[in-house]
């Protein structure tokens, strides 16, 4: 998968439309096209990073910003008190299907644990 073929790079570039809930210079957050909960937002860096294994020392601020932004969106969506879940799947065994890292923000229903 090259960056040219990457679905989420196409969302970053505006080649594919998405329901964007927040964006800044480093990241974009948009609603999942096939939501697994009443609120299901994906937070992605603008930079193409294929998997969590590809995070490097220079990505520490970016990684933190993904989590901070997820918490702020959760609050905006009214999820902060009841609770919500953030998940990043890495590679096939975890179910990663798009190889541009994304933090799932899920909320609005009760979740089971452990996840499947
Ligand atoms: P993964 O399985 O890689 O952790 O999650 C990929 C997520 O991307 C899935 O929840 C899937 O529904 C979502 N997704 C796949 N294609 C699109 C798309 O074109 N637009 C949006 N908004 N979400 C997508
Ligand atoms: Zn990409």
For residue 8, the ligand closest to its alpha carbon is: 2
> Which pLDDT score, from 0 to 100, does residue 77 have?
98
By alpha-carbon position, which residue is closest to atom 1 of ligand 1? 96
Question: For residue 52, what pLDDT is reported?
Answer: 98
The predicted pLDDT at position 3 comes to 79
pLDDT at 2: 67
Question: Does residue 48 have an active-site annotation?
Answer: no
pLDDT at 92: 96
Say how far apart CA 22 and CA 32 lie, in whole Å.
13
Contact at 8 Å (CB) between 8 and 45? no
The number of distinct structural domains making up the chain is 1
Q: Tell me, what's the pLDDT at 4?
A: 79
CA–CA gap between residue 43 and residue 28 (Å, rounded): 6
CATH code for position 61: 3.30.428.10
Range of the domain at 100: 3-107
Ligand 2 centroid to Cα of residue 102, in Å, is 10
| Residue 32: predicted pLDDT | 98
Residue 59 makes CB contacts below 8 A (sequence gap 6+) with 45, 49
Tell whether 116 is covered by a domain.
no
**Residue 72 falls within a domain, yes or no?**
yes
Distance 114 CA to ligand 2 centre (A): 29
In a domain, 113, yes or no: no
Residue of minimum CA distance from atom 4 in ligand 1: 96
Q: CB-side exposure of 91: number of CA atoms within 13 Å?
A: 4
In a domain, 82, yes or no: yes
Tens digits of pLDDT across the chain (116 residues): 667 799 999 999 999 999 999 999 999 999 999 999 999 999 999 999 999 999 999 999 999 999 999 999 999 999 999 999 999 999 999 999 999 999 999 999 999 999 98
In a domain, 79, yes or no: yes
């Amino acid at each position: 998968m090259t960056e040219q073929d990457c679905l989420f790079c196409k969302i970053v570039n505006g080649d594919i439309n998405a329901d964007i809930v927040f964006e800044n210079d480093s990241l974009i957050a948009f609603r999942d096209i096939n939501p697994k909960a009443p609120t299901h937002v994906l937070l992605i860096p603008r930079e193409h990073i294929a998997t969590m294994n590809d995070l490097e020392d220079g990505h520490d601020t970016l990684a933190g910003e993904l989590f901070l932004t997820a918490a702020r969106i959760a609050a905006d969506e009214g999820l902060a008190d009841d609770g919500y879940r953030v998940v990043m799947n890495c590679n096939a065994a975890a179910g990663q299907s798009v190889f541009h890292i994304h933090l799932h923000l899920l909320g609005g229903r009760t979740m089971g644990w452990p996840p499947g």
